[in-house]
Chain A
Amino acid sequence: MAKITLENIKHSYLPEPGGLNDYALKQIDAEWSDGSAYALLGPSGCGKTTLLNIISGLLKPSEGRILFDDIDVTETPTIDRHIAQVFQFPVVYDTMTVFDNLAFPLRNRAVSEDRVRIRVNEVAKMLDLEDSLNRRASGLTADGKQKISLGRGLVREDVNVIMFDEPLTVIDPHLKWLLRSKLKELHRQLGRTMIYVTHDQTEALTFADHVVVIHEGTVVQVGTPVELFERPAHTFVGHFIGSPGMNILPCKIDNGKSRFAGNLVQTASSKLPDNYTGKLEIGVRPEFVYFDEGGFPVEIIKVDDLGRYQIVVTQHDDNTIKMIVPEDIQIPSESPRIAFTPKHTRIYADDWVVDQE
């Protein structure tokens, strides 16, 4: 087990990268503490898997250093990094039994056969694979195979970190949450550092203590699920996490006051940049938009009733504003007016939040 430090990591798949756009990872600095569960969250192609492969040593970064417990492992080959990785598609050795599959990493490291038997049985018990130990691995279902991939990681005692690369992609929906809670349980039980890559916000938010949101090769925010929801540091986080995502509206500052389409808007961003020339936007989640007589007028475009709450799509001056309204609140039929909760309304300058509390 180890603390993982990423220093100034950049990576490009091109031999001679030119501009910043040639980089799959633009700049990653991170320190991940021992024993925590992290999720790397981001859309496909944002560099999550690249980062994972750099940590595991399958890929060497173009620039930067990786440290495990303050020891530089950038040049260390995969086998000596003592990491485990579970891939998107289950990897099992077809010709071997489940037992031999689980024993494989140990036997490759010349662990004594007695010890192998003890460890494999322990891991099989953890993963509920005891009954199929003597079966051929190729005959198992996708979730069984994925458990074997995981088991090969758990079986070694010297593992620094267990990494998951979208491990539930090929698993049936009804087994997904079973396997996910299994992972969560294992994390609590073993206290190993786990890194979980996914593009599914539900998976990330339920699995991890800390979610690392990656966007176009950059870490845009690291935080607990609550922080990501309540204080998105970047418009991408606001937009990517939450359903529907955050409303992002054009903003003008005049005399230190923020205005959206001429309407005064109270925000939690205290210090407002004077004479800022870049792009300014107001971000507010649909959960924090409410009907208010004192607000500004909108036109209601559509109401989706989802039972417990309703998603109301409104429009003001060509800007679409989505709001989530609890079921017990009547939607005004005539000249509706809305307002934003100031505490959860923020200004974003060139996509980055201004003055995070």
Chain B
Amino acid sequence: MNKTTYQKAWLFVIPVVVLVSFNALIPLMTVVNYSVQETFGNNVFFWEGVKWFEQVLNSERFHAAFLRQLAFTGTILLIEIPLGIAVALAMPRQGPWVSVCLVLMALPLLIPWNVVGAMWNIFALPDIGLLGRGINSLGIDYNFTRQPVAAWLTTILMDVWHWTSLVVLLAYAGLCSIPDAYYQAAKIDGASAWAVFWRIQLPKMKRVLTIAILLRFMDSFMIYTEPFVLTGGGPGNTTTFLSIDLVKIALGQFDLGPAAAMSLIYFFVVLLLCWIFYTLMMRDEEQ
């Protein structure tokens, strides 16, 4: 085969190169640049090597934020996934109530993050909020602005309220795609309701649940706006998750080097956890 060489063809690749450069490569490389240098402003940089990485990885503050992050993500996954499946199972499969349920479920997803934070902030305020006052009037001392446990519970409740719907909708889509014949066959085989769930519904929902867990994992691991508006990371540092801490370091203290190093570590952790998780979930499929 005779190949003709036509160098001008490279021109056609330029738009993509420019686009990818500006939205991914250049910002990322800027962060890499910051992560290995020290600057005191005026665009003057001093080479520091891996010093910031060592500093971040050894800092107790980072460890604490990381653990808080893991605890938060783990907790909301443990609540939202089973709850989402349960709600999806309880939703009607046909009839006029289907659309009502779907709209109700979609509503929280349409509200912007900062609005959700603001809503819950006011809702949970112990003196004027409906929830806050309600709890206090039951004789329980509740104040999320100064009690760490209350702050955690409120943050988790807010996230569950905001994002369980996503799991519900995905699980519901998975449930709807199961042909009736499976349920009929299960009836004929004498399967119990539990066996139907365990042997038919859950396996058939596996793919959508994988997506749901991945999405909820990534989003909650990078959560910023909602807790920032609700608690501002407080009281103290008790709800300072990784993103909030990162912004404090980068924009509060203006420590660009450590912040950049932390960003990269953060990025690789998310990437690594997603990969491990996805590989585990998909391992069975390949057999």
Minimal beta-carbon separation of A290 from chain B (angstroms): 48
- Interface bracket on B: 10 to 19
- Inside 8 A of A95's CB, which chain B residues have their CB? 199, 203
- Whether A108 pairs with B188 at a CB distance below 8 angstroms is no
Quick one: given A136-B287, A139-B287, are A91 and B190 in contact (CB under 8 Å)?
no
Minimal beta-carbon separation of A109 from chain B (angstroms): 6
- Whether A89 pairs with B179 at a CB distance below 8 angstroms is yes
Interface core residue of B179, B182, B185 (most chain A CB under 10 Å): B185
Question: A78 on the interface (CB 8 Å rule)?
Answer: yes
- Inside 8 A of B191's CB, which chain A residues have their CB? 104, 108
Q: Which residue of A lies closest to B179 (CB)?
A: A89
Quick one: given A87-B184, A89-B181, are A94 and B203 in contact (CB under 8 Å)?
yes
- Whether B188 pairs with A78 at a CB distance below 8 angstroms is yes
Q: Which residue of B lies closest to A86 (CB)?
A: B185
CA gap between A105 and B190 in the complex, in Å: 6
CA gap between A153 and B190 in the complex, in Å: 11
- Whether B287 pairs with A152 at a CB distance below 8 angstroms is no
Interface core residue of B182, B184, B189, B203 (most chain A CB under 10 Å): B189
Chain B's interface: helix, strand, loop or mixed, by majority?
A: helix
- Whether A91 pairs with B203 at a CB distance below 8 angstroms is no
Chain A's interface: helix, strand, loop or mixed, by majority?
A: mixed
- Whether A108 pairs with B192 at a CB distance below 8 angstroms is yes
- Inside 8 A of B192's CB, which chain A residues have their CB? 108
- Whether A58 pairs with B287 at a CB distance below 8 angstroms is no
Query: A78, A94, A139, A153: which contacts B187 (Cβ < 8 A)?
Result: A78
- Whether A79 pairs with B187 at a CB distance below 8 angstroms is yes
- Inside 8 A of B189's CB, which chain A residues have their CB? 104-105, 108, 152
Question: B269 on the interface (CB 8 Å rule)?
Answer: no
Q: Which residue of B lies closest to A84 (CB)?
A: B188
- Interface bracket on A: 20 to 34
CA gap between A349 and B223 in the complex, in Å: 77
- Inside 8 A of B190's CB, which chain A residues have their CB? 79, 105, 108-109
- Whether B199 pairs with A85 at a CB distance below 8 angstroms is no
Minimal beta-carbon separation of B187 from chain A (angstroms): 5
CA gap between A136 and B204 in the complex, in Å: 15
Minimal beta-carbon separation of A337 from chain B (angstroms): 55
- Whether B195 pairs with A108 at a CB distance below 8 angstroms is yes
- Inside 8 A of A139's CB, which chain B residues have their CB? 287
Question: B176 on the interface (CB 8 Å rule)?
Answer: no
CA gap between A94 and B197 in the complex, in Å: 13
Question: B208 on the interface (CB 8 Å rule)?
Answer: no
CA gap between A104 and B182 in the complex, in Å: 14
Minimal beta-carbon separation of B260 from chain A (angstroms): 46
Query: B182, B188, B199, B287: which contacts A96 (Cβ < 8 A)?
Result: B199
Interface CB pairs A-B, < 8 A, 30: A58-B184, A58-B187, A78-B187, A78-B188, A79-B187, A79-B190, A84-B188, A85-B184, A85-B188, A87-B181, A87-B184, A89-B179, A91-B179, A91-B181, A91-B185, A93-B200, A94-B203, A94-B204, A95-B199, A95-B203, A96-B199, A104-B189, A104-B191, A105-B190, A108-B189, A108-B192, A109-B190, A136-B287, A139-B287, A152-B189
Given contacts A56-B184, A89-B179, 7 further A-B contacts (CB under 8 A): A58-B187, A87-B184, A91-B181, A95-B203, A104-B189, A105-B188, A152-B189
Please list the residues of chain A having a beta carbon within 8 angstroms of any beta carbon in chain B: 53, 56, 58, 78-79, 83-85, 87-89, 91, 93-96, 104-105, 108-109, 136, 139, 149, 152-153
Interface pairs A-B: 9 shortest CB-CB: A87-B181, A108-B190, A91-B185, A105-B189, A78-B187, A93-B199, A79-B190, A95-B203, A94-B203
